[in-house]
Structure 1
């Protein structure tokens, strides 16, 4: 009998790892974008307040 490859034996673990990795990466990117948008909005608000003074 021919020995099976690691991927054929553990495809479920590999698929689960890929699933978790993709979702973790997208979550981190979403947090980074949200933080960037908040800091940019705060900068714009500060600039607007400085112009009023």
Structure 2
């Protein structure tokens, strides 16, 4: 009888953690982009006021 690999035994855990990792990574990238745009707009707004 073949020994089943850890990955085959725990495929659901691996799939779930991969799913969460992708979504958390996407969230962090979106947040960083949003903050970058916000700071760029603030800098442009300050330059217009001067």
TM range (shorter): over 0.9
Q: Which runs of 5+ in 1 are unaligned?
A: none
Give me the TM-score of the superposition, normalised by structure 1: 0.92
* Number of equivalenced pairs: 50
Q: Which has the larger radius of gyration?
A: 1
> Aligned Cα RMSD in Å?
0.4
Runs of 4+ in 1 over 3 A off after TM superposition: none
Measure the CA separation in 1 of the matches of 2:8 and 2:30: 33
Q: In the alignment, what sits opposite 1:49?
A: 49
Distance 1:40 1:31 in 2: 14
Gaps of 5+ in 2: none
TM-score (norm 2): 0.97
